Homo-oligomer: A and B are copies of this chain.
Amino acid sequence: MAQIEYPTPLLQLIAQLKRLPGIGARSAERIGVWLLQRGPEFMDPFAATVQKAGSEVAECSVCGFFRTKDLCLICEGAGREDSLLCVVEQPADILPLERSGGYKGHYHTLRGRISPLDNVGPEDLRIGELSKRVRGGIFSEVILALSADVEGEATANYLTEILRDAGGPSLRVTRLARGIPVGGGLESADELTLCRALEGRSLMQ
């Protein structure tokens, strides 16, 4: 008697779903079966949406954010502070900064960070493009908004050298503050965060 398995198209679907980030074998099976139970009325539009996003959305050649036209909403946007550039790791990091309302300048997406363990070196990132933009002389400040971990710090240190070289002595290179998250209590902050929060303490107004 043959081993009973799901039909091949369903197995192929589960295998594809398993490749998505954060989706394990069990979730992939659950989502695959759930989709099948909804049938073609749900799955055809879903497939069309995936295909359409893949064909219509591209990377902005200037800032690295997503775009559908030749320039992206950020690079072509009027009314932005043209002297400020914020460097982020991923395009998904841009929207939280936009939603914060605290920044109105331009962006540059590295598409990753230096991580020798994952075989990601400076040459794999959009650092050449960053250097070129800064050499243009438009920006007075570059804000490094990278992850607050070892690899983010290493990338920030590397970029600082490159940016000082490209932008000259008048360019300010800054990074985001480290400290207690707003709404977070002291008991949930780790020692290193507390250390940084003490170093960066400010006078009460």
Given contacts A34-B20, A47-B47, A68-B9, contact A4 B53 (CB under 8 A): no
Starting from the known contacts A12-B52, A16-B46, A30-B92, 6 additional A-B residue pairs (CB-CB under 8 Å) come to A2-B73, A4-B73, A7-B56, A47-B48, A48-B51, A50-B50
Verify B80–A1 contact, CB threshold 8 A: yes
Of the listed residues A9, A16, A104, the one surrounded by the most CB atoms of chain B closer than 10 A to its CB is A9
0/1 interface trace, chain A 2-28, chain B, CB 8 Å (1 if under): 111111111011001000111100010
Q: Which residues of the other chain, B, contact A73 by a CB distance below 8 angstroms?
A: 2, 4-5, 7
Instruction: Report the copy number of this chain in the oligomer.
Output: 2
Q: Which residues of the other chain, B, contact A33 by a CB distance below 8 angstroms?
A: 90-92
Verify B57–A9 contact, CB threshold 8 A: yes
Residue of B with least CB distance to A14: B53
Q: Which residues of the other chain, B, contact A36 by a CB distance below 8 angstroms?
A: 53-54, 57, 66
Q: Which residues of the other chain, B, contact A50 by a CB distance below 8 angstroms?
A: 13, 16, 35, 43, 46-47, 50
- Our pick among B1, B21, B40 for the contact of A31 (Cβ within 8 Å) is B21
Q: Which residues of the other chain, B, contact A32 by a CB distance below 8 angstroms?
A: 53
B-contacting residues of A (Cβ < 8 Å)? 1-10, 12-13, 16, 20-23, 27, 29-37, 39-40, 42-57, 66-68, 73-74, 77-80, 90-92, 94-95, 98, 104, 111
Verify B7–A66 contact, CB threshold 8 A: yes
A-B contact pairs, 17 of them (CB 8 A): A1-B104, A4-B74, A4-B94, A6-B95, A7-B57, A7-B68, A10-B66, A13-B53, A16-B45, A20-B35, A29-B92, A30-B92, A33-B90, A36-B57, A40-B51, A43-B53, A47-B50
